[in-house]
Structure 1
Amino acid sequence: MSPGSELGAFLRAHRDRVRPEDVGVSAHGRRRVPGLRREEVARLAGLSAQYYLRLEQGRDHHPSAQVLDALARALDLDAEATAYLHDLATPVRTTPAHHGEHVRDGIRQFVLSRTDVPAVVMNRYQDVLVANSLAAALSPVNLPGGNALRAVFLDPAVRAMYDGDDQAWERVAATMVAGIRALAGPESRDRRLAELVGELSLHSAEFSRLWARHEVATCPGGRVVLTHPRVGRMELNYEKLAISGTRGQQLLLFHAAPDDESARSLGLLADLAHSGPSPATSLKETRC
């Protein structure tokens, strides 16, 4: 997708999601669009309707920063989505193809030496780069060499981990899609991302639908409720910590509240981790 097309698609997707009454626009009468009309966005942003139409049609690739800020206000974008909008309008600098990624020795040693918490390093494409034995025992999704986004959409075994709870799966999938946009940036600037998006779009209609929403958001942490076949139900917190000096690598840590039953279950799982990979974990709920 060209930069102009990406910019236009982003504007259309967010225009469709803005309720007129939320931005002071009268919603009386019959409306043919789910959100704002083009001319309403143009008026809110202080632009001519003709110029805004050119932006949506991809005929103006490089609007000024002032125009982009005005559009962000009109579309009620948050800080992350506004930054992404500016990125879409900057000149294209395509990155080279992805051929592996190095994890610093200190980070690798820290992850592999931890026996009390599941620890995983992922890159901005959600490839699993390093994981300790407890993380592997918690879920086979954490095995190095896999891609979490691909697994969520294309691996039936991973989908089955949600016990048929489509709403829980949808929340996780939407969070991951929005997160990879925020971390990796526009697909037109990143060959690896374009390849991953192309593969998932070809094989998953659900991914295509979520990708077309153009949501941008990072999830620094949250809570996951899971049922493990060896130690039972656990409620775990997880934290995503950015690794400095890298392009989007994150350290993912799971932990339980002290003296909680889940902490005892996690300790039991740590004792069992040396025996090899565990059966598939049943994931019940995840929220940011």
Structure 2
Amino acid sequence: MTRETQLSEYLRARRELVRPADVGLPEGGVRRVAGLRREEVALLAGISADYYLRLEQGRDRNPSAQVLESIARVLLLDEPATRHLLDLAAPAPRRRRRVRREVVPDGTLRLLERVGIPGYIEGRYFDVLAVNRLAQALSPTLRVGRNRLRDLFLDPAEQAMHPDWPEVAPKIVARFREAVGTDRDERAEQLVGELSLASERFRTLWARHDVNLGRPHVTHMLHPQVGELELDMEKLSIAGTDRQMVVLLHAAPDSPSGERLALLASLAASEGPAASAGPAGVPDDDGVARAGTTSGTSGE
């Protein structure tokens, strides 16, 4: 998909989400389009209707930042969404992103086991690259080689463990769009295509073109052994990697969730070392399952 096509889709999707009343226009009369008309966007942005039409049709490759910022104001885009709009209009890089294997730094792997709470490493495309014993005990799908986005939208068992997933889903999709950015490679296109075909919910959310709706800081889970858990979620960027994140889940020790998490840790310890995560996961002596020979993706 070209930058021009992405820009066209983004403008159209965001225009359809703005109601006339949101920008001070009357709602009356028969409207044959969702949201604003192209002519209304052009008028409010101070540009010609023909020029805006060319932008939405992908026929103008060099819109100025001033024009784009005026359109962003009309479309009620926040700062991250405006930045995404400007990125879409920027010249495309001459070299396409290459798909490369993601490698988690050794120090991060050691940290993952020593933190003493459930944790895993999430790659650029939300692949699970490494996971500690407590995280494996927390969720059966937290396994190396699994993809968090795919599991949350396609696995009914995963959805059942997260009763708030319908509210969290828009934020996850928006964060994924931000993570893959505008330079889509084969891996991103394949994952989006698969989920769009298999999940109507994902397809609808992806078509909105939301970017960065905020990150979920609390996750609710229904664990089959210890019951309801309300856990704080921390996502920490790993320096020197292509958007890899350490994801940590924790609760106050004296809270009900903290006590249940401690019980889960005790149960996991009594069961002995974690089982292998399959051919893509190699559990080491430190109790962390990590990516073996499976190829992930990383940009140059």
User: Could you tell me the TM-score, scaled by structure 1's length?
Assistant: 0.88
CA gap 1:173/1:220 in 2 versus in 1, 3 angstroms? closer
| Secondary structure of the corresponding residue to residue 28 of structure 2 | coil
Aligned to 1:284: none
Q: How many residues align?
A: 272
User: Could you tell me the TM-score, scaled by structure 2's length?
Assistant: 0.84
Asked if residue 128 in structure 1 is aligned to residue 124 in structure 2, the reply is: no
| Secondary structure of the corresponding residue to residue 189 of structure 1 | coil
Aligned to 2:46: 46
How far did 1:232 drift? 1.6
Identity %: 50
Deviates more, 1:252-261 or 1:152-161: 152-161
* Structure 2: runs of 5 or more not aligned: 276-300
How far did 1:177 drift? 1.0
Distance 1:46 1:129 in 2: 48
Contact 1:182-1:218 within 8 A present in 2 as well? no
Contact 2:161-2:222 within 8 A present in 1 as well? no
Contact 1:113-1:132 within 8 A present in 2 as well? no
| Secondary structure of the corresponding residue to residue 142 of structure 1 | coil
Distance 1:44 1:248 in 2: 37
Contact 2:161-2:223 within 8 A present in 1 as well? no
Deviates more, 1:30-39 or 1:79-88: 30-39
| Secondary structure of the corresponding residue to residue 230 of structure 2 | strand
Distance 1:95 1:218 in 2: 28
Aligned to 2:284: none
Contact 1:120-1:132 within 8 A present in 2 as well? yes
How far did 1:271 drift? 1.4
Asked if residue 209 in structure 1 is aligned to residue 204 in structure 2, the reply is: yes
What is the identity, as a one-letter code, of the residue corresponding to 2:251? A
How far did 1:60 drift? 1.1
Matches within 5 A, 1:15-26: 15-26=15-26
Distance 2:21 2:196 in 1: 34
Contact 1:92-1:189 within 8 A present in 2 as well? no
Aligned to 2:279: none
| Secondary structure of the corresponding residue to residue 140 of structure 1 | coil
Contact 1:97-1:192 within 8 A present in 2 as well? no
How far did 1:58 drift? 0.9
Aligned to 1:106: 107
- Which structure is higher in helix share? 1
Asked if residue 185 in structure 1 is aligned to residue 186 in structure 2, the reply is: no
Q: Give per-residue Cα distances to partners, 1:154-175, cap 9 Å, x unaligned.
A: 233323434xx6xx33323222
Aligned to 1:34: 34
Q: Give per-residue Cα distances to partners, 1:2-21, cap 9 Å, x unaligned.
A: 22111111111111111222
Among 232, 244, 249, the residue aligned to 2:239: 244
* Structure 1: runs of 5 or more not aligned: 279-288
Contact 1:240-1:251 within 8 A present in 2 as well? yes
Distance 2:258 2:159 in 1: 26
Distance 2:213 2:22 in 1: 24
| Secondary structure of the corresponding residue to residue 209 of structure 1 | helix
Question: RMSD across aligned C-alpha pairs, in angstroms?
Answer: 2.0
Aligned to 1:228: 223
Distance 1:111 1:126 in 2: 17
How far did 1:96 drift? 3.2
Deviates more, 1:15-24 or 1:153-162: 153-162
Matches within 5 A, 1:67-146: 67-93=67-93, 95-115=96-116, 117-146=117-146
